Structure 1
Amino acid sequence: MRLKSLKLSGFKSFVDPIQVDFPGIMCGIVGPNGCGKSNIIDAIKWVKGELSAKSLRSESLQDVIFNGSDNRKPVSHCSVELFFDNSENFLGGEYLKFDEVSVKREMGRDGQSTYFINNASARRRDVQDLFLGTGLGANSYAIIEQGIISSLVSAKPEELRSYVEEAAGITKYKERKRETESRIKRTSENIDRLKDLEDEVKRSIRRLNAEANLTTKYKKLREKEKELSKFLINSEINALTDQLKSAEKENKSTEDGIEKLDGERLAFTSKRDVSKTKLMEGLKDLEDQQRVFFELGAKISLIEEKEKSSNTRISELELEQEKNKKNLADLSDDGGAVETSSAESDVEKVIESEVSTEIKNFQGKIDESVLEILKQSLIKFWKKGFDFGKGKGSDNSETINSLKEQFVERNKAIITEIEGIKKDLKNEKSGLSDLVENRKEQEGKITTLRANQDNLNEEVRKFEAEITRLETQKEAISQKRNEEEVNKRSLENEIKEKTEKLDTYKDVKDIQGEEEDISIELERLQQKIMNLGPINFAAPETLEAEKQRKEVLTSQIEELVESLSKLDEAIKKIDRESNKSFNDCLNSTNKFLEEIFPKLFDGGFCKLNPVDSSEDSGLILMARLPGKKNTKLSQLSGGEKALTALALVFSLFSINPAPFCLLDEVDAPLDDENTVRFINLVSEMSSKVQFIFVTHNKISMEKSTHLLGVTMRDLGVSKVVSVDVEQAMELAQS
């Protein structure tokens, strides 16, 4: 298995999408400082799931996204994808059938990452599990940077042990052990919970046993109660049936009484209706006779009124006649010798007297103010007829004679009018006596009719009183009948209810005894039932369910205990296998150190020793350089530390070669001689491991089979130029 290619987009200085191919087994990445060479190493670490911003030479994870430059805008996300050649089936499991496996990681400005394996969505853990035991795991020794070289030499014993464990491939065992220990913990917790449940079920079973016994006792008492109740219900039904028969007889007697009363009431109603008919007919005759009586009275009153008004008129005419006679006498006494002024005065008095007499006929008929206006108008009219010769030279004597003639004519008219009134009055009074006689006869008829009406009214009242009495009596009997009917219905319903209840006791056996004794026994039995208190009728069924539940819990506990035992055995087996693999790997590492260390230092000795005898003991790296005594690793020079660390790394690679090894300027502290030794060892190891190294050293460049040149033509933006060294050498030689 080897790394075929790398795709980057928006990652650090590699803003544009680019694919970097690694066709050779020794690929050198070269370029000036700051051009972005190490960003390729960071990209490979990032896609493997690195979460430490410091490890990626950044302050935050979002800093790996291209943040812009003078000529380029920032981008919103970045992605890196690795392509592995798996034609030798280095990656097993579900990826065994794939000749190529890709791992991809994408991230946006929100810091949320998405992982893909062969373009299928995956978790970060899935990516990490993919590399477990391959040398590319969490404690990977396949990516070696400048700082790691010195830290590897000065690493703590526990850290050195972790590198050996990664080479031994037991990180998978440790992961399985952690999972198994987690399962053991969960299983133990489940056993504790199940035991708690089992104890609770046991307590529930004890309680339910008591409740089930109480339920059984209750059911027996209830069965006896049903036997006693059945006997009493039968007795009650018989008693109620007797009462019902008696009530039906009473209802029949009451119905007969109501029918008799209805017959009597109908007879009186018929008589009352006949009397009412006669009463209505008599009332009509009475109204007719009264109408005739009132008409006669009206005629008599009219004649009497007319006589009264005629007499009044005659008196008025006679009075006027007397006045006229007096006026004539006054005029005759003057003899025409009076003065004009006196004559005028007399004429005016006569005119006013005449006008006053005429006006009296209108008094009470028109308004007084209108009457006064009429009076003044008549006076003016009369005066026009008597011109006293003012300014005209008329004779006064002629005027007086004319007045006399007028008074004489008026008296004649009065006499004629009085005679006419008396004649008319006499004609009217001639039939008055007949009218009075007829009225008296009519009054007698009315009196007789009224007496008949009074008798009929009295007869109707008597009949109605009898009808009311019978209806009152019927109402009382009907009310009694309704009460009896209600009682009957109540008895029927009670019998029905008790019969229905009795039907529920069909399977209850019949008993014999005295009703009183049975009642006493039933009361005593019911008191016993009450004393039992609340009854859990579901107790027997619940008890059985709880027993079954206890059996299930016990079985589950046994299974879990057995499973726990198996897990403990699995832990022990994992520990045995891990320790064996670790010890084998440690021995192999020391063996390879004995071979590789002298190659790098032209002699010397190096070995990993356990700190103590415990199984989890850490490791100490012991080194002795050629011609020197054992020295502390911290006292070595930078180059010596680098070579010692590389000896350890190459020893680990010899045991469990990782798919590839990344070296970031690890040859920087080496002189030319040590560089030659280092690069020769790399070349020798390249038969097993693909090496990708960042370098400025010309010797390392010459040994590379393929060079990747990283440039930064635009400030802040990296580009890659690929050169096949072997092909270039052939071209140069040709």
Structure 2
Amino acid sequence: MRLKSLEIVGFKSFVDRTIVHFEDGITGVVGPNGCGKSNIVDAIRWVMGEMSAKHLRGSQMEDVIFNGCESRAAMGMAQVFLTFDNADGRAPAEYAHYNEIQIGRRLYRSGESEYFINKTPCRLKDVIDLFLGTGVGTKAYSVVEQGMIGSIVSSKPEDRRIFFEEAAGISKFKSRKEAALRKMESTKANLARLTDIIGELSRQMNSLDRQVKKAERYQRLSDDLKHCDLEVMATRFRHYRTELEKLTNENETLNEVEISSSSGLASVESEIEIKKLELVEVERELDSVQQVVYTTRNNIKLSEANIVHKTNEIETILKRSTDGAQELKEFEERLRSLTEQNIFIAAEKEKAEQERIHSFEAVSVLEEEVDALRHDRDQIGRDVEVYREKIFSTSTAILKRQSHLEHIDRRVQEITSRRSHNRTTLETLGTRKEALEHEILTRTEDLKRVQQLKLSLEEETASLRTTLEMQRTTLLETEQQLQEIKGHLQDRRSRHDSLVELHRNLDGYRDGVRSILKRQEQSDAFEGILGTVGDIIDTEAQHERAVGAVLGEKLQYVIVSSQEHGLPALEYLKTNSQGRSSFVPLNLRFFEKKETWPAGEGVVGPLLNYVHFKQEHRALGEYLLSDVLLVRDFASALRLWKDHPLHVTYVTLDGDIVDAHGMTSGGVGGDASERLIAQKRKITELSEEITKLRGEVSAAAGEVTRFRERVQSLEETLEERTRHIHGEELKGVNLDRDLKQIKSELLRFSEEHDRLTQELTLLDDEEKKLQKEKEEATAHIEALTAEKGEGESAIEQLEKDLDLSRERVSKKEEELIALKVTLAQSEERKAVTDRESERIMTLKTEAEVGIERRTNDISRGQERVGVLQREIELLKQELTTSIIEVEKGEEHQRALQGKYDAQHTLLQEKELSIRDIRKQHEEAREAAHHVALQLTEQKAFLERLIDTARERYRVELSLVEDEYAQEHETFDLEARAQEASELREKLEKLGSVNIDAVKEFEELSSRYQFLTKQEVDLRNSLDSLSKAIVKINRTSRLRFKETFDAVNKQFQTLFPKLFRGGRARLVLTNEEDILESGVDIIASPPGKKLQSITLLSGGEKALTAVALLFSIFLIKPSPFCLLDEVDAPLDDANIDRFNDLIRSMIPHSQFILITHNKRTMELADLLYGVTMEEAGVSKMVSVKLNQDLQQPEPAVA
């Protein structure tokens, strides 16, 4: 499953459709910082299912969509497709028969996501499952991005084990285990719910046993209550109660069905998980053989289809050419015919226009006459309507007044009934108000106490939070200072080590000198060799240039005890042709120096005074520098030489020289002598600076530790205070809610009391007003009746005049219609001729275009036939080769496929069976939900009915029997109400009674036995899931241990190769529990003791992490490996070792390298460059480096 191509649209800076092709070997991606190289890594991680925006360097997932720039608008969608070449057949068995596997992901700015496998929509889980156990995935070791090298060594040992799990191939088992654990949690929840129900049933049965005895006494009294004064409401209550009981029973039954189906579903699902685990093992055996057969067979089908397609295309082209020649003749004949038709139509068009003009003038005259007659007719009609509206208004007014009289009579009766009810209700409200007012006082005092305590805690918490933020800020600043000091220390160490290495390697010395000193260092071959002149000289930086210029090659003189001690070294150089060297003995001969030093402007002093020698080398220093005078500049040197003819050499601070004879030398740069002196001084200065920085690091680390302890202590205190505040806040909310409810209820009672009092007054006033309105309405009805008769007489005369006017208008309209028909016929003839003329011109144009098109088609078809015939010959040759290959592989594939099909069929049968069970479970749950809604509605109806009964009659309908029924007209309401009240008082002394206690007790006993059996089934299902998890753990533990041991062995071999020595090993942090154990790294680079990896330098950490990753690769290579600037922390020497390691891994995997290092770029077979020619928009170009001649190829499709 190697990477074949990556297609990106709208993802981060890749706005346009960009296709990146990957080949075998190494593909490199280069470009300047900020051009979008790492966006390629993010795209690959994202399409493989990464769900963390932080891991994609964003704050939310919408950040991956291109957000616009100065020249481009923001896009509404990001899309990435990643294609794998499955020629090796390493894909899971479900996809093994595909030559290519393509995964895709699409995200819209609205937040909607889509996932695809081979263009087919799928779930995110399907994409993740596709890579389980292959070493590929968002958390696997196939993608190593910026910072991941550091995280490998700095992360917790428990986090590091994920790489070993992927290499061991147990990620799929881990996924199955998590699914089984989720099913166990679901089953446990169902079991807990079932246990609660059984416990509740047990309590209900104990209660019902007592209620059965009580119901016998209640039955005797309830018979006397069946004929009371509430027939209508009791009958309604009976209906609602019956429906409620039916729905309650149905709800309980459906809940039991749901629990039963849930237990059955859990049992079957555990069986399926076990079968899936078995199928995973079979899939691995089938994968490798199956893919080879499928790939070859698909190639054969593709070749055959191409041959047939191209043959058919040739036949089609030849047929089109024949048909085209015939159509060409038809088009030419059609063009001649259309030209003749166009001349005839023009004449007909002119004739029709003349007829239309004549008819139009006649119609205009007649329309004016008709309009005048219509106006007279309409005026009479409007007069009629005016009278009719008046009569209708009068009739309506009469009916309204009559209806108002009826309403007055009904309202008087309602006022009488309402007045009686209000007086009774006012007495009840007064008692309830007093109780509520007392409860408000009690709750208000409790609330004040809670609020005062909460306020005190919040002030304390605010103070703690301020202190914590200050401590966090100080901690952050201290940590940053520590990192800066560590960075300076690492920089100084690197520079110091480099200079020491150069000094140790005698960099800058001649071959002869280097040869003598190396041999002396290795074997003490020469007696009396004491080093070089450069080793014994110390001077200030400002004098280095002058000393280096004067001494020059003398700095490389080898110091010997005497001339005799230098002779063996000279002989060695001559014998072995190792170059030349000069030797200076300590027993030098000195001559008396008589000259005095010249004085004057520009003189600094004798150079010997500014150079430091040890006492034993003081004589040698005088020999070298006794005649050298240090001056300020070249002009001073030249002036002193002219004025003072002494045997003195003048040297300036810039290194310019005038010797005693007048010879001058000078210039800048390239002086190895000066570098030898400066090198020694810099090593000393860096050693002193390193010692100082180490002390600063130790002090800063102590500060960080102290601040961290303070922050942790403050955070714990703040968390405890926050919990206390939350508890008090919850108490306050509950008290405030209760207080509001009580006040609301009191307000409602007060408003109701005031309303009823006011209503009594209004009812009296309204009754007097209604009597007066009744008298006025009767008089108004008599006046309106007389007005209606007068209007009816006037309408009768107007209707006669209207009939005569309508008859005159009708005659004129008939004449007008006849003329309009004639006009319409003329206009239609004119329109027909216009349309025909346009049609002929259109057909002429089409015929001319058709002639040109058919001529071009015939010419192109002849060229295409020749190309297709050559392609068919090549395809036939390829087909013959593929047929031979497929015959060899089919026999082997059939045997393995049969084994896989048998296992897969068995699993499908199980999955089909579980679909029916799931469907039954969902149906039961939906039915239970529907019945629960109906149950709620029925309870609401019943509660409203009970509230109405309490408001009107102060009785409980739950004590009224269903058999009650009476005729309202013959029923004595008052007497029956009093009798019902007396009986109810007797029943209330008995308390709550359940009439159906015996029946309910039997039903509960039956239900208790059924649910107990379901509890046993659920516990059996839990046991099956537990066994499956045990099997998964056993297999995972074995594979992880085998893989860990193999990787550890490989790591112990690879580490010394990368470090050119040293040793390292991996250890488990908890060998007793391998499945939860972390992996720690113990490393010992050359010259160091075994230590934790956290104590290594940055470069050593990076190289150790690379050794671990490639050790895993050698045990379980992933199909591809993407390395994002992994080589950044490595120096040149380590880069070469890193590149050698990658080069050795090419046979095992496909590599994609994102790098800035030129040496790493040289490894690549195919190199992509990422550019930003347009600000904010990334583009790519590619170069194939394994070809002698290559041209850049744009990667943007």
Q: TM-score, normalised by structure 2?
A: 0.33
1:432-471 to 2 correspondence within 5 Å? none
Counterpart for residue 662 of structure 1: 1122
Provide the rounded CA distance (Å) in 2 between the counterparts of 1:68 and 1:541.
74
Counterpart for residue 577 of structure 1: 1035
Provide the rounded CA distance (Å) in 2 between the counterparts of 1:655 and 1:622.
20
Provide the rounded CA distance (Å) in 1 between the counterparts of 2:1076 and 2:1111.
21
Q: Establish whether residue 564 from structure 1 lines up as the match of residue 1041 from structure 2.
A: no
Counterpart for residue 1093 of structure 2: 633
CA displacement at 1:703 relative to structure 2: 1.8
Q: Establish whether residue 34 from structure 1 lines up as the match of residue 494 from structure 2.
A: no
Q: Percentage identity across aligned positions?
A: 47
1:234-383 to 2 correspondence within 5 Å? none
Cα displacement string for residues 385-424 of structure 1 (whole angstroms, at most 9, x for unaligned residues):
xxxxxxxxxxxxxxxxxxxxxxxxxxxxxxxxxxxxxxxx
Q: Are the aligned partners of 2:1084 and 2:1091 in contact in 1 as well (CA < 8 Å)?
A: yes
Q: Establish whether residue 674 from structure 1 lines up as the match of residue 1134 from structure 2.
A: yes
1:197 aligned partner, one-letter code: I
- Secondary structure at the residue paired with 1:727? coil
Mean Cα displacement is larger for which, 553-562 or 53-62? Answer: 53-62
- Secondary structure at the residue paired with 1:29? strand
Q: Are the aligned partners of 2:92 and 2:130 in contact in 1 as well (CA < 8 Å)?
A: no
- Secondary structure at the residue paired with 2:32? coil
Counterpart for residue 1053 of structure 2: 595
Q: Unmatched 5+ residue regions in structure 1?
A: 220-531
- Secondary structure at the residue paired with 1:726? coil
Root-mean-square deviation (CA, aligned residues, Å) is 3.5
Counterpart for residue 187 of structure 1: 187
Q: Are the aligned partners of 1:137 and 1:166 in contact in 2 as well (CA < 8 Å)?
A: no
Cα displacement string for residues 431-477 of structure 1 (whole angstroms, at most 9, x for unaligned residues):
xxxxxxxxxxxxxxxxxxxxxxxxxxxxxxxxxxxxxxxxxxxxxxx
CA displacement at 1:212 relative to structure 2: 8.7
1:643-662 to 2 correspondence within 5 Å? 643-662=1103-1122
Label 1:597 to 1:209 Cα distance change in 2 as closer, same or farther (>3 A).
Answer: same
Provide the rounded CA distance (Å) in 1 between the counterparts of 2:63 and 2:199.
58
Counterpart for residue 172 of structure 1: 172
Label 1:211 to 1:624 Cα distance change in 2 as closer, same or farther (>3 A).
Answer: same
Label 1:214 to 1:60 Cα distance change in 2 as closer, same or farther (>3 A).
Answer: closer
- Secondary structure at the residue paired with 1:105? strand
Q: Establish whether residue 713 from structure 1 lines up as the match of residue 1173 from structure 2.
A: yes
Q: 1:695 aligns with which of 1155, 1159, 1184?
A: 1155
Q: Are the aligned partners of 1:5 and 1:83 in contact in 2 as well (CA < 8 Å)?
A: yes
- Secondary structure at the residue paired with 1:188? helix
CA displacement at 1:713 relative to structure 2: 2.3
Counterpart for residue 726 of structure 1: 1186
Counterpart for residue 298 of structure 1: none
Label 1:535 to 1:710 Cα distance change in 2 as closer, same or farther (>3 A).
Answer: closer
Label 1:550 to 1:99 Cα distance change in 2 as closer, same or farther (>3 A).
Answer: farther
Counterpart for residue 72 of structure 1: 72
Counterpart for residue 113 of structure 2: 113
Counterpart for residue 1008 of structure 2: 550
Q: Are the aligned partners of 1:168 and 1:655 in contact in 2 as well (CA < 8 Å)?
A: no
Provide the rounded CA distance (Å) in 2 between the counterparts of 1:688 and 1:213.
85
- Secondary structure at the residue paired with 2:1162? helix
CA displacement at 1:563 relative to structure 2: 1.6
Q: Unmatched 5+ residue regions in structure 2?
A: 220-989, 1192-1197
Q: Are the aligned partners of 2:44 and 2:82 in contact in 1 as well (CA < 8 Å)?
A: yes
Counterpart for residue 157 of structure 1: 157
1:383-422 to 2 correspondence within 5 Å? none
Counterpart for residue 1069 of structure 2: 611
CA displacement at 1:608 relative to structure 2: 1.1
Q: Are the aligned partners of 1:705 and 1:726 in contact in 2 as well (CA < 8 Å)?
A: yes
Label 1:533 to 1:593 Cα distance change in 2 as closer, same or farther (>3 A).
Answer: closer
Label 1:685 to 1:548 Cα distance change in 2 as closer, same or farther (>3 A).
Answer: farther
CA displacement at 1:650 relative to structure 2: 1.0
Provide the rounded CA distance (Å) in 2 between the counterparts of 1:134 and 1:78.
27
CA displacement at 1:550 relative to structure 2: 3.1
1:12 aligned partner, one-letter code: K
Cα displacement string for residues 469-512 of structure 1 (whole angstroms, at most 9, x for unaligned residues):
xxxxxxxxxxxxxxxxxxxxxxxxxxxxxxxxxxxxxxxxxxxx
Higher radius of gyration, 1 or 2: 1
- Secondary structure at the residue paired with 1:652? helix
Cα displacement string for residues 569-612 of structure 1 (whole angstroms, at most 9, x for unaligned residues):
22322222222222112101101112222232223322110224
CA displacement at 1:702 relative to structure 2: 2.1
Counterpart for residue 575 of structure 2: none
1:674 aligned partner, one-letter code: N
CA displacement at 1:705 relative to structure 2: 1.9
CA displacement at 1:552 relative to structure 2: 2.7
CA displacement at 1:36 relative to structure 2: 1.7
Provide the rounded CA distance (Å) in 1 between the counterparts of 2:76 and 2:93.
36
Counterpart for residue 280 of structure 1: none
1:622 aligned partner, one-letter code: I
Cα displacement string for residues 282-338 of structure 1 (whole angstroms, at most 9, x for unaligned residues):
xxxxxxxxxxxxxxxxxxxxxxxxxxxxxxxxxxxxxxxxxxxxxxxxxxxxxxxxx
Cα displacement string for residues 599-651 of structure 1 (whole angstroms, at most 9, x for unaligned residues):
32223322110224476232210112234322442343333222211111111
Q: TM-score, normalised by structure 1?
A: 0.52
CA displacement at 1:711 relative to structure 2: 2.3
CA displacement at 1:664 relative to structure 2: 0.8
Counterpart for residue 19 of structure 1: 19
2:1106 aligned partner, one-letter code: L
Provide the rounded CA distance (Å) in 2 between the counterparts of 1:640 and 1:199.
65
Counterpart for residue 7 of structure 2: 7
Q: Are the aligned partners of 1:24 and 1:706 in contact in 2 as well (CA < 8 Å)?
A: no
Provide the rounded CA distance (Å) in 2 between the counterparts of 1:654 and 1:549.
63
Provide the rounded CA distance (Å) in 2 between the counterparts of 1:80 and 1:730.
29
Provide the rounded CA distance (Å) in 2 between the counterparts of 1:215 and 1:632.
81
CA displacement at 1:6 relative to structure 2: 0.5
Provide the rounded CA distance (Å) in 2 between the counterparts of 1:184 and 1:544.
34
1:75-94 to 2 correspondence within 5 Å? 75-94=75-94
Label 1:574 to 1:535 Cα distance change in 2 as closer, same or farther (>3 A).
Answer: same
- Secondary structure at the residue paired with 1:684? helix
2:1038 aligned partner, one-letter code: K
Cα displacement string for residues 680-723 of structure 1 (whole angstroms, at most 9, x for unaligned residues):
21122222221111122232222222222222222222222222
Counterpart for residue 392 of structure 1: none
Instruction: List 4+ stretches of structure 1 deviating above 6 A.
Output: 206-219, 532-541
More helix by share: 2
Provide the rounded CA distance (Å) in 1 between the counterparts of 2:40 and 2:1003.
67
CA displacement at 1:168 relative to structure 2: 1.9
Provide the rounded CA distance (Å) in 2 between the counterparts of 1:678 and 1:533.
90
- Secondary structure at the residue paired with 2:34? coil
Q: Are the aligned partners of 1:590 and 1:606 in contact in 2 as well (CA < 8 Å)?
A: no
Provide the rounded CA distance (Å) in 2 between the counterparts of 1:140 and 1:718.
27
CA displacement at 1:138 relative to structure 2: 4.8
Provide the rounded CA distance (Å) in 2 between the counterparts of 1:184 and 1:688.
41
Label 1:218 to 1:135 Cα distance change in 2 as closer, same or farther (>3 A).
Answer: same
Counterpart for residue 97 of structure 2: 97
Q: Are the aligned partners of 1:187 and 1:564 in contact in 2 as well (CA < 8 Å)?
A: yes
Q: Are the aligned partners of 1:105 and 1:116 in contact in 2 as well (CA < 8 Å)?
A: yes
Q: Establish whether residue 624 from structure 1 lines up as the match of residue 1084 from structure 2.
A: yes
Label 1:729 to 1:639 Cα distance change in 2 as closer, same or farther (>3 A).
Answer: farther
CA displacement at 1:545 relative to structure 2: 4.9
Q: Are the aligned partners of 2:1127 and 2:1155 in contact in 1 as well (CA < 8 Å)?
A: yes
Q: Are the aligned partners of 1:604 and 1:626 in contact in 2 as well (CA < 8 Å)?
A: yes
Counterpart for residue 397 of structure 1: none
CA displacement at 1:28 relative to structure 2: 0.9
Q: Are the aligned partners of 1:164 and 1:652 in contact in 2 as well (CA < 8 Å)?
A: yes
Q: Are the aligned partners of 2:12 and 2:64 in contact in 1 as well (CA < 8 Å)?
A: yes
CA displacement at 1:540 relative to structure 2: 7.3
Q: Are the aligned partners of 2:1093 and 2:1101 in contact in 1 as well (CA < 8 Å)?
A: yes
Label 1:546 to 1:34 Cα distance change in 2 as closer, same or farther (>3 A).
Answer: same
- Secondary structure at the residue paired with 2:1187? helix
